[in-house]
Amino acid sequence: MHQLASEQEGWCLSTKYINNSTKLEWKCKYSHIWESTPQNIKSGKWCPNCAANKKGHSYKITIEDMKQLAEGRGGKCLSLEYKNAKSKLLWECKDGHMWEAAQSGVQRGTWCPTCGNKKKGQSQRLTIEEMHELALANKGRCLSTAYTASDERLRWECQVGHIFESPPAYIKAGSWCPYCSGRHNYSIELMHQIAEERGGKCLSTVYINAFTHLKFQCNNGHIWEAIPKHIKSRHWCPNCSIYVNEERCRFILEYLFDQKFVKTRRILGNGMELDGYNETMKLAFEYHGKQHFEFIEHFHKNHEEVEKRISMDQAKEDRCRELGIELLVIPYTVLTEDHVSFIVQQLQERGVTFKNDPLNFTFDQFFQSVNPLNEIKKIAESKGGQCISAVYVNSETKLNFVCHEGHTWSTTPEAVKSGKWCRACFIQYRAGNTQRLLLEEIKQVALTYEGECLSAEYKNANSKLSWKCKLGHIFERTAGHVKEGRWCPYCLKLQLLEEVKQIARELGGECLSEEYIHSETDLIWKCGDGHVFQKSPARVKQKRWCPHCHELKTTILIEWNGETRNIRQWSQHLHIPTPTLQARYHKGLRGNNLFRTT
């Protein structure tokens, strides 16, 4: 909507979108404000004031017009400036009452609210007297003290003492006491019977009349109070009713096709949920309550979440089209009594045939079918456990469970329906079934090293096992480390010691140590000149050798042909290996004998 308005160089002032035919508030670039449906805007219609200007029929309203309008009512317009039809102005009636109202309302005929209330009060007093006369005509009494409207319920008492509520229009039309007429001859036994038929209980023991609250409990553990008349007219648990429309739609579809429509997140991906889906028919449904269109505190933390939900709903529809799934969306604007006809019509338009005749459909078994807590308890019992929670909230709220081994945990109804159960039992089961196979596999790995696994039990990947190499060394490692190639640590140290000894030989010396600890622990070395020193294997591998020889290379200065350099510098200058020059120097050679090239 905001995009449509910006294309017209204007604004959409409304914050909620309901449907294509519900008016929103708009503002053009000339600051005219009006209401119009999204459908009109999409069809190209825009500001009616600007349109009138283009046709030459515009008339600019001024504050003088407002003053004349007030004078015509015997009052005054006290404001000094007129902005637009929606901006409030200050008015005063002939009796001196002052109030604020927009020009559009006054233009339509509304005037002083104080005077209006006085007139309304007079009419109410007159009308309530008429109500008392109506009651007397029926040999009863009207117990209410004020009359508001003909369809607003008042309290009455008949000649035998029954108290009931009924609109004045019904009484004027000839209706009277529902108990005397047999329409409200309820009883506590009837309330208990209705509650049991719906899988719940009536917790009250005394019945007074159709308008006195009784206490009820549904099959999901919710407790509430309601009047018998509402219970008799098919009202039930207000807590369950948050999701009842979704369940009604599921109940209708499962009757029409004799197939299950299960709630699932496994089809569309990205955590997107379908309220109901049948894999065989590739048919899904979504019930979109009011929370899919506007901010509802029970469902949303902020207004941004409403936009996210709208985007998610669109993504669901797009994904269903990609997967070839027929998605039926039932919006909350469809009246409850029209659910069946709406669903049937939508499916018929898509060429879908029904297994059962829609004309034979009834909701007689509906309340018994809407029993998610009982369903969860049956699933738990089928697994040898129990659901120990007494109240069901929704599919995302955790319930408490106990398995046949006595493990207790909490998880969501949705998880249990998808087949998940006790994690502690699962870990034990997996360990018991796989332990023998894993141990055999591990023993085979040991054979590839010409060794053996000495452990008789495998617990898990983090538990160390006992091993023996071909040289008889016994050590402990995890199975994972052995599979990665990390075998006997003692053999590894011997191998590494031999490697560094070979490096020492290549450098003209030797390694005097007989034990290798790790690459940063110093070993004892001896160079070709007999110097003994300590250095780590890591440094020797980097060709960092005898520190004494290194000092000689850099500190002994030799003069020849008028130049003075150290041994390393002469080596680089004459391209003669440093060890060669160093050896000659120690033999006492000087001059040309020292630097001869042959």
| pLDDT at 56 exceeding the cut of 70 | no
* 143/240 Cα distance (integer angstroms): 35
Q: Where does the pLDDT of residue 590 fall: very low under 50, low under 70, confident under 90, or very high at 90 and above? A: low
Q: What is the pLDDT of residue 593?
A: 61
| pLDDT at 121 exceeding the cut of 80 | no
Q: What is the pLDDT of residue 418?
A: 78
Tens digits of residue pLDDT in 347-375: 999 999 999 999 999 887 776 666 678 88
* 124/464 Cα distance (integer angstroms): 90
* 589/569 Cα distance (integer angstroms): 18
Q: What is the pLDDT of residue 58?
A: 46
Q: What is the pLDDT of residue 591?
A: 59
| pLDDT at 317 exceeding the cut of 90 | yes
* 135/176 Cα distance (integer angstroms): 9
φ, ψ for residue 266 (rounded to 5)?
Answer: -90, -5
Q: What is the pLDDT of residue 203?
A: 95
* 6/265 Cα distance (integer angstroms): 38
- SS3 state at 196: helix
Name residue, tokens 């207790």: 408
* 188/209 Cα distance (integer angstroms): 10
CA distances from 167 to 123, 149, 237, 247 (A): 17, 8, 26, 33
Q: Where does the pLDDT of residue 543 fall: very low under 50, low under 70, confident under 90, or very high at 90 and above? A: confident
Q: What is the pLDDT of residue 598?
A: 44
Residue count of the chain: 598
| pLDDT at 237 exceeding the cut of 50 | yes
Smallest Cα–Cα separation from 399: which of 199, 220, 201? 220
* Assigned token pair, 240: 């369950």
Contact yes or no for 20/40 (Cβ under 8 A): no
* Assigned token pair, 262: 């299960």
* 125/592 Cα distance (integer angstroms): 138
Tens digits of residue pLDDT in 499-533: 889 988 988 899 998 888 888 889 998 988 788 99
Q: What is the pLDDT of residue 322?
A: 94
Q: Percent of the chain at pLDDT above 70? A: 88
Name residue, tokens 């569309």: 268
* 85/66 Cα distance (integer angstroms): 11
Tens digits of residue pLDDT in 443-459: 888 898 889 999 888 77
Q: What is the pLDDT of residue 57?
A: 46
* 313/310 Cα distance (integer angstroms): 5
- Mean pLDDT value across residues 152-170: 86
| pLDDT at 326 exceeding the cut of 60 | yes
Q: What is the pLDDT of residue 119?
A: 65
Contact yes or no for 77/64 (Cβ under 8 A): no
* 148/476 Cα distance (integer angstroms): 89
User: What class has domain 243-369?
Assistant: alpha beta
| pLDDT at 183 exceeding the cut of 60 | no
Other C-beta atoms lying within 10 Å of the C-beta of residue 370? 25
DSSP state for residue 140 in the 8-state scheme: S
- Mean pLDDT value across residues 175-197: 81
pTM (predicted TM-score): 0.36
The amino acid at residue 463 is S
Q: What is the pLDDT of residue 41?
A: 84
Write down the mean pLDDT value for the chain. Answer: 83
Compute the C-alpha angle 39/43/49, nearest 5°: 90
Strand order from edge to edge, sheet including 326-331 = 262-264, 274-278, 283-288, 326-331
Q: Where does the pLDDT of residue 596 fall: very low under 50, low under 70, confident under 90, or very high at 90 and above? A: low
Q: Where does the pLDDT of residue 90 fall: very low under 50, low under 70, confident under 90, or very high at 90 and above? A: very high
Tens digits of residue pLDDT in 137-150: 999 999 998 887 77
Quick one: angle between helices 547-555 and 567-574, nearest 10? 70
Strand order from edge to edge, sheet including 98-102 = 76-77, 88-92, 98-102
Alpha helices in 150-240 (DSSP H): 168-172, 188-197, 228-232
| pLDDT at 430 exceeding the cut of 80 | no
Three-state helix/strand/coil letters over 91-156 = EECCCCCEEEEEHHHHHCCCCCHHHHHHHHHHHHHHHHHHHHHHHHHCCCEECCCCCCCCCCCEEE
Q: What is the pLDDT of residue 514?
A: 87
Other C-beta atoms lying within 10 Å of the C-beta of residue 100? 11
Contacts of 30 (CB under 8 A, 6+ apart): 47, 49, 50
Q: What is the pLDDT of residue 256?
A: 96
- SS3 state at 531: coil
Helix (H) or strand (E) holding 578, with range, is helix 578-586
